[in-house]
Homo-oligomer: A and B are copies of this chain.
């Protein structure tokens, strides 16, 4: 089963890279903020009959969200589960919220950020591998022909990942990832990848934590690729990151214990792998789940199937002007079956174009 999942994900990556140059297909429904909320949010408190000194109005924790169904759904859900004595009250330890990463918390177009890292690593390592000049898929990566490089499908991609993600210790890999993020920039936005995160989602993360939630990332991306930056980017510590894993091996090197990253995928945390990753890592069912693609469908289904109030939200990439518009026919972040299910089940669908005042945080 892991093999099958790997094929799927690798296939997606290949298609993505091939599609890099062309414009994305616009999403089918440009205004999608109508995701119906099953339960209306609580009514605002009635105005006092007699004017009294007012406390300063607190800043809106979701300031980057336009007023609308999506914002109200989030606020209403949080109010319901955090009100003590309410039949919908959820004790703090059970307030588990899970977030996909690629396309939900940060940009995934024109290619997964981890694929950009992989290609940069091939170029950086090339001087030590003169044989790559004549060996695919390295040859095509080095000549800049990404389409040819990834035309070899899953096998080519696994070769690239193995050459760049394995063979070193876990500590060494962390240092490599940190160094890359310190300088690498997004090809379209011209800003560091670490600033290609979605401001409205950062606000959701903080808002949930301020209301007693524990927030987790549950991503198809590599767990050790994300962890060096998730605290800084999202306020999420390493132990709350769930992702795909490579096989690790404990060794003593000169008497010093190390964990060596082996050239094999141990677990693919994508699609039906996400509920498995959640159970293995968290051990309890979330009450809120945020995603953006069919790879998140089973995670949202798993979250929805528990008792009591639930929040399932899809980020719909509808904003061709400020970001990229894509859904049913995209080779990356394809949103098709999950969009149908969201509509059928009244999950919240957020339109980036209509619901979000800003996409990215102010440049640093």
Contacts and interface: CB of A to CB of B under 8 A. Distances in A.
Interface of A: 1, 93, 96, 170, 214, 223-224, 227, 231, 237-241, 245, 248-250, 252, 256-257, 259, 266, 272-273, 275-276, 279-284, 298, 301-302, 305
Contacts of A239: 96, 214, 239-240, 281-284
How many copies of this chain does the complex contain? Answer: 2
A272 B259 CA distance: 10
Given A93-B237, A257-B301, A298-B257, A283 B249 contact: no
Given A275-B257, A301-B257, A283 B248 contact: no
A305 B259 contact: no
B250 A272 contact: yes
A248 B249 CA distance: 23
Given A1-B249, A248-B280, A259-B275, 20 more contacts: A93-B231, A93-B237, A214-B239, A223-B283, A224-B283, A238-B282, A239-B240, A239-B281, A239-B283, A241-B283, A245-B280, A248-B276, A248-B279, A249-B272, A249-B276, A250-B275, A257-B301, A257-B302, A259-B276, A259-B279
Contacts of A96: 239
A276 B245 CA distance: 11
3 closest residue pairs by CB, A with B: A238-B283, A250-B272, A248-B276
Contacts of A249: 1, 272, 276
Contacts of A224: 279, 283
Nearest to A249: B1
A4 to B, nearest CB: 12
A50 to B, nearest CB: 46
A339 to B, nearest CB: 18
Interface centre among A240, A252, A259, A279, by most B CB within 10 Å?
A279
